[in-house]
Each structure stands twice: as C-alpha cells, then as structure tokens.
Amino acid sequence: MNKLYTNKEKRLYFLPMFLSEIFCVFFIILGLVIGMVMYFVIHKRIVKMIRMRSAPKVRGLISCNFNCLFNPVIQTLASLDDLYFYLEKSDLPEDSLTKEIYKLLKRLRKSGSPIKNEEYYDAIMYKLIKNKYFDSENPSSAGDLMLSIVKMLFDEEIARLNISYKNLEDLTYDNCEIISKSSFICNLFGTIVLDRNLKIFFSLNYQKYKRITSTIYKIRKNPFNFELEPQFVTFLKLPKYILTSLSYSSSKDMCLNNVIYTHLGSLYYGLNSICLETIKDSGILTCISINRRENDNFYCFDDDFIYRVEGNESFKLDYEITLVVYELNK
C-alpha cells in the first residue's frame, strides 16, 4: 500500500534536490561569467602586446622643470644604440651618472606613455653640476649639455679602468694609445688629432680644418717625425659618433635628405640626431630634437609630443640648430 505524503513532507523531500539544481545553475552561470571575463582580459592583453610590438619604440618626456635642454639631449642619447649597449653592460655603481643615464634610456627605448622627467632630471643634473661638468648659471645649448654628459661618462670609465691623464689636449703618444684602446666612450665620441701634439676631442668643429687625411698607420709608425703645417690638423682616429653644430645655422626650409650624410676623409657618416632651439614670442626658450630610431625612421620629439618626420619634407619652423650627431656607417 503506497504511503500518502503530506505537502510539507513533499517540500522537505524535494527541497534538497531543488536547491542542488539551483546551485548547479548558479555555478554554471558563474563559470560562464568568469570565463567571459578571463577571455576579454586575455584578449585585451594580447591586442595590447600586438600593438606594442607593432608600435615604434619611441616615448615622450614630460618636462617638470625649467630646463628645456634636458629632454632633447636625453632623446638624442636614447638614439645612440652603441652607447646604450655600453651603459647596459657597465659595472659602475648604481649612483654613478652612467647608471642614472641608463635607467632613463632603458624606459625611453620602449613603447609606452610619456615619462615625467623630474626624478631623472634631479639625479642627472645634480651630478653634472656638483662635479662642475655643467654650469647652470651661464647660457648653454643642447651641445653644451651633451658634451658635459659625454665628458663625465668618459671620466667615470677612465677612473674605473684606473687610467690617469693630465690634459686631453696635450697627450703623450703612449697615454693616447692606452686611452684609445681601453675606453669605450673614447671610441664612441673621441676624435684623436695631431696638431703639433696629440689631442682628444669629444665634439668636432670640422669646418675649421682645411685638410682631413686618413694617415693613422703612417703616423703611428713614426709619430714624432711627421711635418705638419701650422694651419693643418691630421685626424688619427675618428669616432663612432661625431658631435657638431656647424652643419646649418637655421632649420628654415631644411630637408633631412639634404643633411642625411656627410663624410670625413674616406669615412661616411649618416645623420642620427639634431637638437634645435628657438625663443618664442613670449620670450621662453623652446628646444626640440629630431632623432633616428628603429628602421631608420626619424621622429621629432617636443617633450611628450612626438611625430614622424619624412626625409623629403622641408622643416618649416625657424629653429637654430645647436647640435648635430652623425653616426659612422657600417
């Protein structure tokens, strides 16, 4: 005989089954929601990675100070591949200028949002001013700041190598040879010349020299029996990067294709960077840079505003060119 269940007993009997079904449906829906969220997060991350890989590795600097020279000079340093590789491998202390420059360039050479320059500016400029490589009280150009950075990088490297010298403009042959063979910074930026005595320059006003000859081997064989006319200078060794500011005095109607190459003796150099400055109607000095980055494309960096510059386009703005960097063609 079948037992008759009351409504209450039926509810108590079927309630666990009903609740289990609800929980099953709930967990299924929750799993679907979590799966969709994870899908969109992963999809968004993949899209971002693809965009970052395809995006040019350029990054702006937000200026947080009154020194407008800093950003274009740093962007120029970021465009010098061999310098970056040296900084990356350097074993100098973390508080050295070498490492401070590297920390900033490492971020600049990646795609991403603009970086505030305040933290890096304070660390870098403090070292340059404290050690008397840069005088912030006197009017300066991007070329002056660039040269002060290169000189301090050189001195930090020379100190680590335990090499001593008195004056780079009056070197003995042996001393010059040791520096040339040992210093990576010297090979990147140092021009070794013979002008009555041996000298190493880190910037080059090559228009004042009337003759440029590639006589390095002849001079090394007999360095002190080589007659040199007083107004002439002989280049013994040219660097990877040449810093100069005398290619053009103004950028008005300048076209990159017209300054893309220069040559010294038998060596051809390609344009790497240009730093420019102008005084606006408000009396404020403004500095920008045009730098060659990946795939040999040129970009104009105006703090955090960046745009690509085509080689056949004339530069319409009237800026004074204060620094030009040429790179030795491989």
Sequence spans of domains, the chain: 61-328
Which residue in 81, 321, 291 sits closest to 188, CA to CA?
81
pLDDT score recorded for residue 80: 97
**Does 110 or 149 have the greater pLDDT score?**
149
Residue 245 pLDDT level (bands cut at 50, 70, 90):
low
pLDDT score recorded for residue 18: 57
**Does 319 or 116 have the greater pLDDT score?**
116
3-state secondary structure of 243: strand
Residue 218 pLDDT level (bands cut at 50, 70, 90):
very low
The values of phi and psi at residue 85, to 5°, are: -65, -35
pLDDT score recorded for residue 228: 34
The span from the CA of 68 to the CA of 174, in Å, is 41
Q: How many angstroms separate the Cα of 217 from the Cα of each of 227, 235, 236?
A: 15, 11, 8
pLDDT score recorded for residue 192: 87
End-to-end CA distance of the chain: 102
Tens of pLDDT, residue by residue over 253-265, are: 667 776 677 777 6
Highest mean pLDDT out of 24-28, 155-159, 175-179: 155-159
Which residue in 195, 183, 191 sits closest to 241, CA to CA?
191
Place of tokens 């505030």: 116
pLDDT score recorded for residue 169: 86
| Mean pLDDT to the nearest integer, 44-56 | 55
Neighbours of 79 (CB within 10 A): 27
The span from the CA of 278 to the CA of 303, in Å, is 14
In eight-state DSSP terms, residue 311 is T
Helix locations, the chain, DSSP H? 7-54, 70-78, 81-89, 97-108, 118-130, 142-161, 173-182, 184-189, 216-221
- The length of the chain is 330
Q: Give, to the nearest 10 degrees, the angle between helix 118-130 and helix 142-161.
A: 70
The values of phi and psi at residue 37, to 5°, are: -60, -45
| Of the candidate ranges 81-90, 179-188, 207-216, the one whose mean pLDDT is the lowest | 207-216
Tens of pLDDT, residue by residue over 79-108, are: 999 999 999 999 999 999 999 999 999 999
pLDDT score recorded for residue 277: 85
Give the architecture (CATH level 2) of 61-328.
Alpha-Beta Complex (3.90)
Angle at 84 between CA 82 and CA 88, to 5 degrees: 120
Give the chain's mean pLDDT: 78
| Mean pLDDT to the nearest integer, 282-290 | 82
